[in-house]
Structure 1
Amino acid sequence: MTDISTSTASAGTRGLTRHRFIRWTGFLSILAGVVMLVAGGVVWGVVSSQLADQHITVASDSEWFPGANVTDPFTALAEANIINEHALHSSEGKTYAQLDKEDPLRATVMNASFLRASLFTSVVSFGVSFFAMGVGLMFGLFGGSLVALTQRARPGTV
């Protein structure tokens, strides 16, 4: 036969352990969220400053952001698109792979392709950093919710 006071104490200990686990999970989620927000922001800043250091300006005949300095994903994408238009125009619509190996335009189209790839890499980097910041924000909110819930609940009832 089990003593009632022993089973009640055991349930209270389990509740307290669960309460602490949830609370610590909340704190760790907040910490992870802050780290992800900061890391995403740092990456965004580094990519932006590296692009700015190149002094790239969106071509004046671009559909989007003509004349703007390339420092963000939107201007990088605009410049990549206009580079493609210029390359296709100069090669009469042919891509690098479609041009004859002896065609003097092949080097120009190849350089345009490399430039576009570099700009697309920066666009992807901006996207990943934005994603990290968004996930960090959600981790922080979920962690804050867990901490807030454990503050309202009594340790023996969670």
Structure 2
Amino acid sequence: MSIQVGEPLPEVVLQRIREGVETIDTKALFDGRKVVLFAVPGAFTPTCSEKHLPGFVQHFEEFRRKGVEVACMAVNDPFVMQAWGQNQHVPDGLIMLADGNADFTRALGLQLDASAYGMGTRSRRFALYAEDGVVRQLYVEAPGEFRVSSAEHLLSQLP
């Protein structure tokens, strides 16, 4: 079963690159903050690169004006996430998170078996809004869809 609105986010360690590879646990990432986390099945994949991440890049300042931090996550390694962020001109402050072993994705119950496509375990496409580490909104896409996890939809739903 996947995480539900009103539940605390599980504590798991993720990776990112700033001054080299660093680990960050989800407690440190979410506690005391308002954060939109969106997840994609894979960096550099078509919908993820043509629509999902670009929407959050385009609307990044609107989230900031609402006092909301933005994080992107994929079941990729931190080097891929860094390269994808550079390729997509991700602004400083938009956090690119690597869930390389899908630990957080599994803890959320939002994994996807993409083995048929040679991609193994991946994350379902989703977005959530959390306040102080508790899920306040959750939008999980149906397979092959891209609607409710878009930046535009999230902005329209934020308080």
TM-score, structure 2 normalization: 0.20
Which has the larger share of strand?
2
- Structure showing greater radius of gyration is 1
Which has the larger share of helix?
1
